[in-house]
Amino acid sequence: MDVKQAFEYFALLEQQFWKNLDQKTIQHVTFAGDLKPEDMLLYGEFGFALLGLKPAVLVEFCDEAINKLYLETVVEPALYAMKDKTLDYHIIRHAVTPESALNGCVLIYQTKQRTLAELAFIMANTATATTDTEVTEESMATILDYPGHLPNTEKEISTMLSVIYFHDRPNQKGLIALTSFAIQISEKEKTLAHFKRYQDVCKEKLNVALKLLIQ
């Protein structure tokens, strides 16, 4: 499969993943309905990594068993079907960030980026770990190619903005959130440039139109 076919295949596998979950599991994974399945789709993030835009994608459901199921039914088949093996995956063991515990989460990463210092650190220290490895939010932002950062001080809470990149689907099918992150007001110009780069490449390579929301 070429890049566009692999992207579309991943999206199809992901739709099937959600269709095959029973209602009890969906309630568990969506935090009793606080989130909607369509808010948790990763096909866009996968596409960004596939296009070489971001070093890695994090598969982070609330349950390690769901991460494993997603890996086996979505990630592995999609990677296997790719003509060019530009992506691989790593199962994280015992890593924590200031925001979350990542044990059992999965990184889908660009193979050419495996020497990226922040990515190499996680892969080297969390393959067979039995004690927690601390990973900074700055490292995660680099690995996931987020152009902003979460508030570090109380003052930064008041200057925080939320950013969402949407898939603007044709034929009035509506918007699907592909990625979201926090920035500071001072990072807005950098974020606009970041979005433009993603928008141009996604349109050219995948025929996917992106739309931006900053609020």
Average pLDDT over residues 33-50: 91
- CA–CA separation, 148 vs 156, rounded Å? 12
- CA–CA separation, 58 vs 44, rounded Å? 12
> Do the strands 133-134 and 95-96 form a parallel or antiparallel pair, or are they unpaired?
parallel
Candidate from 13-22, 75-84, 130-139 with smallest mean pLDDT: 130-139
Q: Residue 31: which pLDDT band, with cuts at 50, 70 and 90? A: confident
> Could you tell me if residue 82 is left (phi over 0), alpha (psi between -120 and 50 degrees) or otherwise beta?
beta
* pLDDT value for 119: 93
Q: Which residue has the higher pLDDT, 129 or 20?
A: 20
* pLDDT value for 100: 87
What's the pLDDT tens digit per position in 145-181? 999 988 888 888 999 999 999 999 988 788 999 999 9
Q: What is the DSSP string of the chain?
A: --HHHHHHHHHHHHHHHHHHS-HHHHHHHTTTTTS-GGGS--HHHHHHHHTTSSSEEEE--SSHHHHHHHIIIIIHHHHHH-SS--EEEEE--SEE-SS-B-TT-EEEEEGGGTTSHHHHHHHHHSSS-SSPEE--HHHHHHHTT-SS----SHHHHTTEEEEEEEEEETTTTEEEEEEEEEEEGGGHHHHHHHHHHHHHHHHHHH---EEEEE-
Q: Which residue has the higher pLDDT, 200 or 125?
A: 200
* pLDDT value for 88: 96
Residue 92 has pLDDT above 90, yes or no: yes
* pLDDT value for 13: 98
Q: Residue 194: which pLDDT band, with cuts at 50, 70 and 90? A: very high
* pLDDT value for 105: 94
pTM across the whole model: 0.92
Q: Residue 40: which pLDDT band, with cuts at 50, 70 and 90? A: very high
* pLDDT value for 33: 75
Gap between the terminal Cα atoms of the chain: 38
Q: Residue 189: which pLDDT band, with cuts at 50, 70 and 90? A: very high
Q: Which residue has the higher pLDDT, 83 or 53?
A: 53
* pLDDT value for 210: 97
Q: Which residue has the higher pLDDT, 127 or 108?
A: 108
- CA–CA separation, 45 vs 56, rounded Å? 8
- Mean pLDDT for the chain? 93
